Amino acid sequence: MNFSGKRCIVTGGTGALGAAVVARLRAAGAAVAVIARGAAPGDMDFSGVDLADPPAAAAAVNRAVEQLGGLYALVNVAGAFRWETLVDGHIATWDLLYSANLKTAVCASKAALPHLIANGGGRIVNIGAASAAKAAAGMGAYAASKAGVAKLTEALSEEVRPKGITVNAVLPSIIDTPANRADMPKADFSKWVKPDAIAELIAFLLSDAAGAITGALIPIAGRV
C-alpha cells in the first residue's frame, strides 16, 4: 500500500495501538498528525487535547488539517479501559468510559467531516471491541461504550456514504500491549492480537482497495 500524498489524523496516537497505526501509515508514505491527551513530541503532533470536549477537539483537528494541508483519513484510536463490576464499581466509570471511548470518536469525527467533505471523500476508521457483542462480567461499562462506537460507525457510514466517505470499525479482542501483560501476567500472550496486525487492517481500510467497504464492523481476535 502506498499512501504518498495522503493526509491522516490518528487520535490517541501515543499509546501502543495508536503508535503502531502511526508507524504503519508513515512507513507507507502518509503524512500523519497525532492528537492525544498525553505527550506527543512530533512536529505535527498535538498533546494535552481532551477530545471529548467539542471545542478542544475541533480546534485540534483544525490545526492539524492546517499543518497537513488537507485531510484524507481520521483514525479514532483514543480510548480507555477499566474492568469493574456493577456491584462493586462506580457509576462514574460509566461516564468515564462513555467519554473516553465514544464521545472522543463523536467529537473528532464531527470536527473532521467538513475537511473530508472538502477533500471530496475520505476515510474514518474507529476502534470498537469484540466484547461489545458479548460482554463478560466486569465488562459492562467498557462494552456499552464500545457498542456505542459500533452504532456510531453504522449510522455515520449511511449518513456520509453519498459524500464518498467510508466509515468502518475494527473490533479487537485482547491486544498484546505492555499494560495488558502487566494486568494479566499468567495469560498466554501468543493468543492475543498484535498491534501491528490491527494497524495492517486499518491501513487496508484506508486504502483504495477498500473503497467499497463501509459500515463494516470487522473482528480481529488473534486466537482468543
Residue with cell 475537511: 115
Q: Select which of 142, 198, 203, 222 is catalytic.
A: 142
To the query of whether residue 142 is one of the catalytic residues in this protein, the response is yes
Cell readout for 92 is 462514574
The DSSP result for 115-164, as a single string, is HHHHTT-EEEEEE--GGGTSPPTT-HHHHHHHHHHHHHHHHHHHHHGGGT
- Are 128 and 146 a contacting pair, CB within 8 Å? yes
- Are 139 and 156 a contacting pair, CB within 8 Å? no
Cα 111 from Cα 221, distance rounded (Å): 30
If 0-12 CB within 10 Å is exposed, 13-18 middle and 19+ buried, where does residue 145 land?
Answer: buried
Active site residues: 142
